[in-house]
A and B are shown apart, each in its own frame.
Chain A
Amino acid sequence: MRLALFLPVGLFVALSIVLLLGLDSDPTELPSALVDEPFPAFRLEALDPEQGFIDEQQLMGEVALVNVWATWCYACRIEHAMLNQLAENGVKIIGLNYKDNRADAFDWLASRGDPYAFSVFDLRGSLGIDLGVYGAPETFLIDAQGIIRYRRVGVVDERVWSNEFADLYAKLKTEAQ
C-alpha cells in the first residue's frame, strides 16, 4: 500500500527519462527508407549536354557518393569546399543537380571548382522524389553494386565525414577490391 504512493513519482521519473532521450533526436531528420535498397532506376540528361543521357548503370562499378546539389541551395556553398577536398583525395562523387538552372550550375562549377565525376541534371526533381530527397544538400553513399549504404541529409563537413562516412567508405572500398 505504501509502495503505491510512490507510483506517481516512478511514472514521473520514467516519463522524464523518455522525454530526455527525445531531446537528442532531431525531428527534422526523416528515417531513411532507402538504405540498403538499390539506387532507383532513372534516365536523365547529364548536366553537360555533351555527355548525353545517364542511367543508374553508370553509377555502378565503384564505391561513390551521390551528392544532391543546386545553386539555389545556400548550405551547398558551405559544403562545396569539403566536396572538392574529398574529390582531391580520390573519392568518386557523382552530382545530382536538383531543380536548378543549367547556366547557373555551369557558373557555379566554373567558379567554385568541379568535384563531380559527372552531374545528372534533374530539372523536375523526378529522381529526387524517387530518392526521397526533401532538401539539398543530401549525400548518398553507394557501393560498387549500386546499393545505397548510407544517407546524410544536410551538409557533409569534416566532422560528419569522419564520424559517419569514413569508416563505412573504407570498408566498402576494401570489399569492392
Chain B
Amino acid sequence: MRSFVFLVLLLVSGTVNATSDLVVFSDPSYAARYQTMILELRCPKCQNQNLADSNSPISQDLRAEVQRLLELGMTNGEIEQHLTERYSEFILYRPQVNKSTYLLWLAPIVILVIGMLTILGLTRRSPTASEGQKFDTQDDQQRLDDLLKNGNK
C-alpha cells in the first residue's frame, strides 16, 4: 500500500516540475497574451520549435523580451513587428500576407479548386463514356438505358 501511494505521488509530481519559469506580470491580462505570443513565435536557433517549447538560451532571452515589450504596453502586432525587424519573418509561425507569401497563402485554395474541378470533370464524363457500351442481350441494354435515364427505382 505504501509503495502504491509513493508511486501515485511520483506520477503526480511530474506535472508539478513541468511548470519551469514562472512569469509574473503587472497586469493579469498580459499573461494570456504572453502565452499566445510565445506559442506563435518561432525560436530562431531551433528549426521547428516555438518560444514556449524551446529551452535554448536565445528562446529564454526572447521570452523575456516578449515580456518586457508587453510591460511597455505594446500591442501584439507591434511586438511581432519589433521582432521581425530584428529576426526577419522567420520568427513568425503565422507569416504575414505579402508579396513573398502569396504563393504560400493562396496555394491551398488554388489546389482545392483544381481538385474540385477535376472531380467535377470526372463525374460529368463517366455517363457519356458508358453510352458507348453495348450489352449482348436486348434486355440488359434496355435495363441499362432505364437505369441511366431514371436512376435505380
Binding site for B on A (CB under 8 A): 27-28, 30-34, 99, 125, 128-132, 134-135
Q: Smallest CB-CB separation from A128: which chain B residue?
A: B61
B65 lies within 8 A of A134 (CB):
no
Bound form: Cα–Cα A34–B84 in Å: 10
Within 8 Å of chain A (Cβ to Cβ): is B94?
Answer: no
Bound form: Cα–Cα A99–B57 in Å: 10
Q: Smallest CB-CB separation from A130: which chain B residue?
A: B86
With A129-B65, A134-B58 in contact, is A28–B47 under 8 Å at CB?
yes
Give every chain A residue within 8 A of B62 (Cβ-Cβ): 129
Give every chain A residue within 8 A of B87 (Cβ-Cβ): 30, 33, 132, 134
Distance to closest chain B CB from A175 (angstroms):
26
Q: Smallest CB-CB separation from B91: which chain A residue?
A: A30
Bound form: Cα–Cα A6–B89 in Å: 38
Q: When each residue 71-105 of chain B gets 1 if its CB lies under 8 Å from chain A and 0 otherwise, what string results?
A: 00000000000001111111000000000000000
B86 lies within 8 A of A34 (CB):
yes
Within 8 A of A (CB), among B33-62: 44-45, 47, 57-58, 61-62
Give every chain B residue within 8 A of A130 (Cβ-Cβ): 86
Q: Which of A27, A34, A99 contacts B47 (CB 8 A)?
A: A27
A132 lies within 8 A of B86 (CB):
yes
